[in-house]
């Protein structure tokens, strides 16, 4: 299979939603850096969307829009930004990040064992767990994310936070929406970040911590170096 | 359909207003698009209440993300549809899928496959996508439609078509290459 064909195949599988979490994350990175891949994805999406246009409209419950209006009433919009999540020139081709998905799977067991006691004692259970890894492929933090998008952050490394900087926690629940901020931390310590009005956390959802200018990224999107990142796992019930 | 769907231009115009912080414009988009979007989500999620939840979440996401909408990469309606599809697929990949599978009233995979075919025949004879899909071998075409319209995984397509998963993967890779080359 030629490189061109391979690109078309990956674009096709990506648009069809058939890639696994790791391949999907790689494709999302390539969308930011590989113009040919992005064009193939956009073009194939545009063609396939004609199938969506054939759907006959369902009835819409009368309470739906008022509920959406209530949810967005006090919700600010994300700042305009062209800067994608998880792509900076320094790390985009790093093999360490590419290996991180596999290592995160292996480490999930460690994370589960580490946190199991907390669930029994706690009043509520996390929806997903995340083992976040450093660029050196070491576990750097563990997150417990709850249904309301509050997140308990357990740093496993003492991240240096220079003066005028802050640690900012992000998640990517939908590539079309882009990364969203879950909150900031002034230093490397165990904290629970307040709830946020995003969809319930899902398996394979990307989380990361970046270093940003205090009091938080000026653009509303990650701008600084990524300290740790990882994909969510659902604990077995 | 009793009402002509609003034009793509109208959707682009409304999303332009949403980008500027106009919540009423999002309400107008909702009133013209929500019915179709629920139907698209229901093809994937099957249950009406889950489809409605997906669309509701998608409109909240669209509100937040509207400022970063990039008109050079597609139309507003397709962007909105993509957010709904992503949300529905994420809900499927979540363990909600297990609950879905337990319901006796739900149609079997094979029966639902008819829905994917119906979506394709609705494209009409003169449509370019339809023409290119028609050129594919039937099993490749069916695999691609099951994935796109119903959100099936490789394993579910294999079960539906009673075919080894490796064969299905090869069909789809070859099929999407041929389809894109035909469409270009």
| pLDDT tens digits, B9-63 | 899 999 999 998 999 999 999 999 999 999 999 989 888 999 999 999 999 999 9
How is residue A70 written in tokens?
């209530």
pLDDT band at B91 (very low <50, low <70, confident <90, very high): confident
CB A66 within 8 Å of CB B56: no
- Same domain for A106 and A16? no
Whether A47 and A161 share a structural domain: no
Helix (H) or strand (E) holding A228: strand A226-233
How much is the pLDDT for B101? 52
Choose the weakest-confidence range: A72-81, A141-150, B161-170: A72-81
Domains of chain B: 8-102 (1.10.1740.10), 109-183 (1.10.10.10)
Provide the residue range defining the domain that includes A134. Answer: 95-233
Higher pLDDT, B103 or B13: B13
Alpha carbon distances (Å) from B109 to A58, B41, B88, B104, B143: 22, 17, 18, 12, 12
A155 and A223 in a single domain? The answer is yes
The total number of structural domains that make up chain A: 2
Q: What's residue B16's pLDDT? A: 92
What is the widest separation between alpha-carbon atoms in chain B?
A: 51
Cβ(B119)–Cβ(B145) under 8 Å? yes
Does B72 touch chain A if contact means CB atoms closer than 8 Å? no
Vertex A41: Cα angle to B52 and B75 (nearest 5): 55
Q: Is residue A78 part of a domain?
A: no
Indicate whether A51 and A144 sit together in one domain.
no
A207 and A113 co-located in one domain: yes
Residue A87: inside a domain, yes or no?
no
User: Is A211 among the domain residues?
Assistant: yes
Q: What is the pLDDT of residue B129?
A: 94
A58·B48 Cβ contact <8 A: yes
> Would residue A88 count as lying in a domain?
no
More confident call, B114 vs A183? A183
Residue with the larger pLDDT of the pair A194 and B6? A194
Instruction: Assess if residue A223 is contained within a domain.
Output: yes
Q: Residue A84 falls within a domain, yes or no?
A: no
Same domain as A215, residue A159:
yes
Does the beta-carbon distance from B51 to A58 stay under 8 Å? yes
pLDDT of residue B110: 53
Is residue A15 over pLDDT 90?
Answer: yes
Q: Which helix (H) or strand (E) holds A145?
A: strand A139-145
Domain boundary among A58, A85, A104: A58
Residues A103 and A52 in one domain: no
Nearest to A54 among B31, B119, B173 (CB): B119
ipTM over 0.90: no
Residues 99-138, chain B: which have Cβ within 8 Å of A? Answer: 119-120, 122-123, 127-129
Rank A30-39, A130-139, B171-180 by mean pLDDT and report only the highest: B171-180
């Amino acid at each position: 299979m030629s490189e061109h064909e391979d690109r078309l195949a990956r674009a096709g599988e990506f648009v069809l939603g058939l890639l696994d979490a790791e391949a999907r994350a790689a494709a999302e990175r390539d969308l930011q850096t590989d113009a040919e891949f992005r064009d193939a994805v956009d073009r194939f999406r545009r063609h396939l969307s004609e199938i969506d246009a054939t759907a006959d409209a369902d009835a819409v419950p009368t309470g739906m829009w008022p509920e959406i209006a209530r949810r967005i009433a006090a919700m600010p919009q994300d700042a305009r930004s062209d800067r994608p999540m998880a792509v900076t020139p320094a790390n985009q081709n790093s093999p360490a990040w590419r290996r991180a998905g596999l290592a995160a799977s292996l480490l999930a067991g460690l994370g589960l064992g580490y946190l199991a006691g907390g669930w029994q004692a706690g009043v509520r259970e996390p929806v997903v767990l995340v083992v976040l890894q450093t660029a050196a492929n070491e576990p750097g933090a563990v997150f417990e994310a709850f249904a309301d998008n509050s997140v308990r952050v357990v740093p496993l490394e003492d991240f240096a936070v220079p003066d005028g900087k802050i640690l900012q926690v992000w998640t990517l629940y939908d590539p079309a929406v882009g990364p969203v901020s879950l909150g900031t931390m002034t230093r490397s310590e165990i904290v629970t970040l307040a709830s946020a009005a995003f969809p319930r956390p899902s398996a394979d959802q990307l989380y990361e911590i970046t270093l940003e200018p205090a009091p938080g990224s000026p653009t509303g999107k990650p701008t600084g170096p990524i300290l740790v990142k990882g994909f969510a796992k659902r604990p077995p019930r | 359909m009793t009402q002509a769907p609003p034009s793509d231009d109208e959707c682009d115009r409304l999303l332009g207003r949403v980008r500027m912080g106009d919540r009423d414009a999002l309400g107008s988009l909702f009133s013209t698009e929500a019915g179709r979007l629920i139907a698209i989500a229901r093809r994937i999620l099957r249950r009406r209440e889950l489809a409605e939840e997906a669309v509701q979440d998608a409109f909240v996401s669209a509100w937040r993300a509207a400022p970063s909408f990039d008109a050079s990469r597609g139309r507003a309606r397709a962007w909105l549809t993509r957010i709904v599809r992503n949300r529905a697929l994420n809900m499927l990949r979540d363990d909600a899928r297990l609950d879905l599978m337990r319901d006796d009233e739900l149609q079997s995979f094979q029966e639902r496959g008819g829905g994917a075919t119906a979506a394709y025949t609705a494209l009409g004879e003169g449509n370019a996508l339809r023409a290119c899909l028609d050129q594919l071998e039937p099993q490749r075409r069916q695999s691609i439609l099951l994935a796109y319209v119903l959100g099936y995984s490789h394993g579910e397509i294999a079960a539906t078509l009673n075919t080894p998963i490796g064969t299905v993967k090869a069909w789809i890779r070859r099929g999407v290459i041929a389809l894109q080359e035909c469409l270009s």
